[in-house]
Amino acid sequence: MPFALYPSLTDTPVVISGGASGIGEAMVRQFAAQGARVGFIDIQAEAGANLAAELTEAGHQVRFVSCDVRDIAAYQAAIAGFAEAHGDALVLVNNAAHDERHDWADVTPDEWDQRMGTNLKHSFFATQAVAPGMIRAGRGSIINLGSISWMILVPRLPLYETAKAATHGLTRSMARELGRHGIRVNTLVPGWVMTERQISEWVDPAAEQLIDQSQALTRRIYPDDVARMTLFLAAEDSAAITAQQFLVDGGWANT
């Protein structure tokens, strides 16, 4: 099945967080296939280095830095390094997150801070890092990854869901702050995506039944489905779209 090519993404500098596996890996591969200059970070050093080496050997413009997004100084330094190599980022995809289950009664203040750092805080400070270059260019696209988990009341995820619900507040506020400079900010909300981690840890027969009952579409959602929407939101094809959230969930959540 043929998919869209976006000429506006050719040679466009792109920064992606959490790009070594799952949805993020699909994004790195798809932006590279569009001819973009991709810089991505991930805490998974070996997986990230292997992906960058594979894509570079295939002739794509891809760079990787191993970084914990909770270390804001290191993350912003990585973004600056990508800018030196590829030019100022014109696309930022705030993808990094971790949906580890937890019991609300056991959460400590330190755990709260750590989980917000993993799932929300880095998105703001990455935006802060790329915005000056986008302002100079008079254009740019920032894509924040949300989640349907808070919309459909998934249990044992209160901190993750709090961060993901807040992500759209960040999107809306920064869309207003940056819109006058031609910079768009949107939220991309995946449904239950069949990543290797999801399949190995949570997708059992009961989960399959729940998906079948809950989605309007009977097909499963895969990382490439999410990545293709990311391409559209990054490309000039969506130049008039900002401050919105887009669900790629097979018709599950009711917003």
Q: Could you count the other beta carbons within 10 Å of the beta carbon of residue 159? A: 21
2: which 2 tokens? 């043929």
The active-site residue, picked from 6, 75, 160, 222, is 160
CA 128/CA 190 separation, integer angstroms: 24
Active site residue 160: yes
Q: CB-based contacts of 126: which residues, under 8 Å, 6+ apart? A: 15, 17, 69, 75, 76, 79, 92, 94
* CB distance 181 to 130 below 8 Å: no
Q: CB-based contacts of 219: which residues, under 8 Å, 6+ apart? A: 250
CA 68/CA 218 separation, integer angstroms: 36
Helix (H/G/I), strand (E/B), else coil: 40: strand
Tokens 């330094």, located at residue: 77
> Hey, which residues does 141 pair with through a beta bridge?
91, 184
Enzyme catalytic residues: 160
